[in-house]
Structures are given as C-alpha cells and as structure tokens.
Amino acid sequence: MPLRSWFAQSVAQPGAPGLFTLTVSRDQWRAVLQDLAATGSRLTALWASQDETFTPVIRAAFLTEHKGLIVNLPLPNAAELYPGAEDLFPAASRMQRAIADLSGLHCTDPDQRPWLHHTGSYEFVRVAGEGVHEIPVGPVHAGTIEPGHFRFSIVGEKVLRLEERLGYVHKGIEQRFTELPVLEGHHLAARVSGD
C-alpha cells in the first residue's frame, strides 16, 4: 500500500501541524514500516506505553518528506512477540532492547541482549583473527561525555568493530515524556542533558 494510503487512514493531531497518528494491527505493522522505509522516511523514536484501557502499545515516530507520523501497535497479548523493525531501520534494535528492559515487551529481533540492565554478564560480539586486539574503555572515563562502555576490536590502528553499551545513567526521561501533553514536551526536551 502506498504511503499516501496510510496517511489517508491516519488522524491529524490537534495543535501539532503536520503530525498524524495511525493505529494498526499486528499484520499491518510490518507493511506500514516497509512503506515508510521504501520512501526514505526516518525513524526518530520507538517506545512502549499504554492506551486508555491500559493495553500495552508500541509506538514509532517517523519523519517523512513533509509530515510526521506516529504508528501505534496495540498489544492485547503482551506475552506475544511483536514484529521487530531492525531489518528496515537499524537504529530500531537498540530502542527495541530498551523497550524490553523497561516494559518487558519483546520483539522478534534476534538481538535480545539487555540495553539498560547492566547486571550479569554481557555478550559482546567478538572479532577473532590474527593480530586482533580488544580494548575495553569505560564506563567511567575522563571527558565530558556521559558514562558508556566501549569495546574496540582493532588490528593496528584499524578499528574492525566498535560495540558500545550505554544507559548507565538512565533517568526515566522517556517515561516522563509519555506523561506530558504533546504540546508541553518541548519544555522537557530543552532541558535534557543526555546523549
């Protein structure tokens, strides 16, 4: 279905010109994401919340060429895996992992490692081969950036892989956004100190 057909089914958000919401079924979720990816739309956020009946909802915000679209996927059966978006939007993987940590809702993404829960062992993706060295840095290190653990796999000066693990100073800001009216979120966004 072309993207314009999805927008025809969406609802304009009062007070937010150019922003629309669309609630879809589990079967429609992947179809709308595929159409968004095919048009070069950008995934800006992916989070979980609840609707007015306390049903869990996965929400994804996209920027299309001229409009914003929030796609809502209600999950009446929270134990069932929802379809992941990591193959269409690579940044979705980390957001899906954060959703799992914060809400217990899991998707079909094969990467099920925790993103925010830093207890227990963490399975880094290892790079092997002649001359490969791993250099772990952090989470406490000098500088002005927030805490993060970085694992560099290198050969000489060439970085083969960098795997980062963030979220050490998770403050619950995403949850706070879900509690604010849409037109008041910019006050909080302007005051966030985070990467």
pLDDT at residue number 82: 96
Which residue ranges of the chain lie beneath pLDDT 70? Answer: 1, 118, 141-145, 193-195
Cα angle 132-92-106, degrees, rounded to a multiple of 5 = 100
Query: How buried is residue 70: exposed, middle or buried, by Cβ count under 10 Å (0-12/13-18/19+)?
Result: buried
Q: What are phi and psi of 100, to 5 degrees?
A: -60, -40
Name residues whose C-beta falls within 8 Å of residue 76's C-beta, 6 or more positions apart in sequence. Answer: 55
pTM of the model: 0.70
Do 13 and 21 meet the contact criterion of CB atoms below 8 Å apart? Answer: yes
pLDDT at residue number 148: 80
| pLDDT digits 0-9 by tens, 101-134 | 989 999 999 988 888 776 777 777 788 888 888 8
- Report the C-alpha gap between 52 and 41 in whole angstroms: 29
Per-residue confidence (pLDDT) for residue 168, from 0 to 100: 73
Place of tokens 């094969």: 110
| pLDDT at residue 72 in the model | 97
Helix (H, G, I), strand (E, B) or coil at 85: coil
**CATH 3.30.70.1230 is the classification of domain 3-108:** no
How many Å apart are CA 133 and CA 111, to the nearest integer?
A: 24
- The string of pLDDT tens digits covering residues 152-164 is 899 988 998 888 8
Per-domain residue ranges for the chain? 3-108
Residue 64 is predicted with a pLDDT of 93
Q: Residues 82, 27: contact at Cβ < 8 Å?
A: no
| CA–CA gap between residue 28 and residue 194 (Å, rounded) | 34
